Structure 1
Amino acid sequence: MATPRPGPERPTAVLALGSNLGDRLARLRAAVRTLGAVAVSRVYETAPVGGPTQDDYLNAVVLVPAAPARALLVAALSAEQAASRLRTVRWGPRTLDVDVIACGRLLSDDPEILIPHPRAHLRAFVCIPWLDVEPDAVLPGHGRVADLVAALDTAGIHQTSWSLRQ
């Protein structure tokens, strides 16, 4: 079950986690601890989207304390580095992928950290777990996340019984 969303007095950022190499669940659990998640979605097993042929992913979404765009990027890259992520093939298999999806109404057009994430509205593996932790979520520029999910192909996404809180 998803952890409850923090109250409105605690602004948060939305980060999407994915792993399809090694002990996927252990890598996601380590990322939850490293990132200081205040809310954690259920875990979903998902078919890869784009890139070369590869194994299925485990995906989740976490809410973390809000921070400036660059600080969120540094935290995401640090978590990936701790998981020994190698960037050899675009959209290829990875030990851990951490994407900054949104941070309230923050908009960033910095080429190194676009917020909101430019493809989040197209990714059921992001939007479905996001609803677990924030049922009334809105993706700036795209609308309610529940409406986005209704328009997406969700066939390759399966909820697991695993928890990221240990």
Structure 2
Amino acid sequence: MALIAIGANLPGYGGNTPIETCRAAAAALDGLCGLKLAVVSRWYETVPVPPVPGVPRYVNGVARLEGADMDPAALLAALQGLEERAGRQRPYPNAPRTLDLDIVAIGDMVRAAPDPVLPHPRAHLRRFVLEPLRDVAPGWVHPSLGVTVEALLAGLAAEEAPVPIGG
């Protein structure tokens, strides 16, 4: 099982809204690197982390992929290709983006190098990742911390909660 965080807060190519871009990215995950899209979370509207005045809110979700022989580097490269096709630019860290795809975890794999680091080094600290992750993998246990997604969420400081959205 691979857990992929999906997010956007800028219009994509052709004027797609962030949620349209996220939905298209989720659909594009099916078959990527031979993996099968099993389920996609609800979509959530979230504040930027770290908060930046004037930066639009994000749309965030998580997809669960199933398959065998997941090559982390190949999956990362394929995800970055999807980001690039959606117009992703990286002018500075945490810049607003047309699409952001991150590998949160691949099964119980733990690796410090080379990229991608697994599990994602900051996912356990981000409510905007953990809320949708809980939708697709309730009871998920962080591979290096040995803590459930529910316990991770309970341990986070109070902040503005992600809001489920439609549209």
TM-score by length of 1: 0.85
In the alignment, is residue 155 of structure 1 matched against residue 156 of structure 2? no
Q: Distance in 2 between matches of 1:107 and 1:145?
A: 17
Q: 2:148 aligns with which of 124, 144, 151?
A: 144
Is 1:51–1:92's contact at 8 Å kept on the other side of the alignment?
A: no
C-alpha contact (below 8 Å) 1:69/1:108 kept by paired residues:
no
CA distance in 1, matches of 2:23, 2:153: 25
Q: Return the alpha-carbon distance in structure 1 between the equivalents of residues 4 and 105 of structure 2.
A: 7
Which residue of structure 1 lines up, in the alignment, with residue 110 of structure 2? 107
Aligned to 2:14: none
Give me the whole-angstrom Cα distance separating, in 2, the residues matched to 1:137 and 1:27: 27
Aligned length: 152
CA distance in 2, matches of 1:77, 1:51: 24
After superposing on structure 2, the runs of 4+ consecutive aligned residues of structure 1 that deviate more than 6 Å are none
* One-letter code aligned to 2:139: D
Residue 64 (structure 2) aligns with: 63
Matches within 5 A, 1:1-166: 12-22=1-11, 23-36=17-30, 37-50=37-50, 52-53=52-53, 54-66=55-67, 67-142=70-145, 143-153=147-157, 155-162=159-166
TM-score (norm 2): 0.85
Structure 2: runs of 5 or more not aligned = 12-16, 31-36
Give me the whole-angstrom Cα distance separating, in 2, the residues matched to 1:162 and 1:21.
Answer: 17
Kindly provide the amino acid, as one letter, of the partner of residue 30 in structure 1: A
Amino acid of the residue matched to residue 63 of structure 2? V
Amino acid at match of 2:107: G
Quote the offset at 1:50 in angstroms.
1.8
Identical residues among aligned pairs (%): 38
How far has the Cα of 1:91 moved from its partner? 0.3
Point out where structure 1 has 5 or more consecutive residues left out of the alignment: 1-11
Residues 82-123 of structure 1, C-alpha deviations (whole Å, 9 max, x = no match)? 211011121010000001000111112224210100001100
**Partners in 2 of 1:59 and 1:85 — Cα distance?**
16
**Cα drift, residue 162 of structure 1:** 1.8
